[in-house]
Structure 1
């Protein structure tokens, strides 16, 4: 993993490329980085993922594994260098999403509004507490959600037949959305389908509207490592359940 490198960087002056990347992420709410990981890195992750316990569809607790924690530092350094990750960003969760013939699922249009925290706290700014896989989750104010960054690492080819993520460009800029407003915004702006190859990264803001369909070729598989990065201090008397 220490060999992380984005081949596309070679074609641009570093400063200009960094500015282009960060500008695209802020304006569109997502950014695709091709070929960040080589075949050797991807194969090593596959071996660990295939050995993971949990539901066929995945798990929210990958950061509990040493191999996953070891990915954080080089990944964070590379993304900081590209200007798409804040200096104080910490990995606070890594989820495995695993779509396959035995577990072929879909996700309705939504925003990611909940974060994993160490314990419940009394604060009127916090809502919708829940408990999943041993961790507390809560919906914080929009201001905190806007400071979060998702990094998705693709381990398999993800074509339009594999149930790729579909996103609504720019929808992260309008705060939390009702279901009715979300549908209207998708109708107005359309969707972008985020296909990928093994080793590609997708960077996105959690408030970006996104969805995915069932794979139309369920004999395939789609495995994604979904890292969530947040500020070292989330505020509101909260503590992250785990921070690397």
Structure 2
């Protein structure tokens, strides 16, 4: 798997791995998530954060098994998980996401560092846009906890766009004009592995059902000038 996965992600920026995680492991994860305190359910666009601290099963998935193997195939054995999010599209939270790149990282505290900025805050956690090279040393591994078909508002991607660096609005428009999008249809237990700089979007779901996704981000390098990843597992 490693060579083929690495080659495809280098070329296209993403890959789908169906049937990567067992149904039993997903059931255990969903049971653990169900015990989260009221108000932490992923009912808004930002999803649920700090899952490493609140859900031990997420730490286990990040450190071993298919999600870890996928990250290592792209980044090497020295990689580590730096963020865990939970998303869920429901009739109450059925959002649209425009074409974009994932340009921010979560850090422990705000510090001055060359090339880092602008800064923002999400759920009380400092976020910053790093130099592009740090994003190139990252990969997202998304575990689908429900089947995701065309009616569930799947992620759409523009293959190869991760190779173009940070893109402005005009460049994004140009990519959209010349590159046919691909819908990432992923079954329950499947993984979507993608580079942060890959242009991606999603439409609202047309069928009212859960589309729960555990989103883990992995990195391969420490941050400079005293900056630290918000999480490191």
TM-score (structure 1 length as normaliser): 0.88
CA-based RMSD: 1.5
Aligned to 1:78: 69
CA contact (8 A) 1:154 1:225 kept: yes
1:55-66 matched pairs, under 5 angstroms: 55-57=42-44, 58-65=47-54, 66=56
Aligned to 1:99: 89
Change (3 A) 1:116 1:72: same
Whether 2:119 is the aligned partner of 1:135: answer no
Distance in 2 between residues matched to 1:200 and 1:120, nearest whole Å: 35
CA contact (8 A) 2:75 2:138 kept: no
Q: Which residue among 217, 220, 225 is the counterpart of 1:231?
A: 220
Aligned to 2:202: 212
Aligned to 1:153: 143
Give 3-state SS (helix, strand or coil) of 1:125's partner: coil
- 1:120-173: per-residue Cα shift (whole Å, max 9, x none)? 111231111011112110000001110001000000010000000000000000
Whether 2:145 is the aligned partner of 1:163: answer no
1:116-135 matched pairs, under 5 angstroms: 116-135=106-125
Q: CA deviation at 1:188?
A: 0.6
Whether 2:40 is the aligned partner of 1:50: answer no
Q: CA deviation at 1:49?
A: 2.6
Q: CA deviation at 1:44?
A: 1.1
Q: Which residue among 45, 60, 80 is the counterpart of 1:90?
A: 80
Distance in 1 between residues matched to 2:19 and 2:213, nearest whole Å: 15
Task: Tell which deviates more after alignment, 192-201 or 65-74.
Answer: 65-74
1:172-183 matched pairs, under 5 angstroms: 172-183=162-173
TM-score (structure 2 length as normaliser): 0.92
The runs of 5 or more residues in structure 1 that have no matched partner are 1-16
The runs of 5 or more residues in structure 2 that have no matched partner are none
CA contact (8 A) 1:61 1:133 kept: no
Aligned to 1:12: none
Q: CA deviation at 1:48?
A: 2.1
Distance in 2 between residues matched to 1:145 and 1:232, nearest whole Å: 10
Change (3 A) 1:236 1:209: farther
CA contact (8 A) 2:42 2:86 kept: no
Q: CA deviation at 1:80?
A: 5.8
Change (3 A) 1:106 1:80: closer
CA contact (8 A) 2:119 2:128 kept: yes
Give 3-state SS (helix, strand or coil) of 2:118's partner: strand
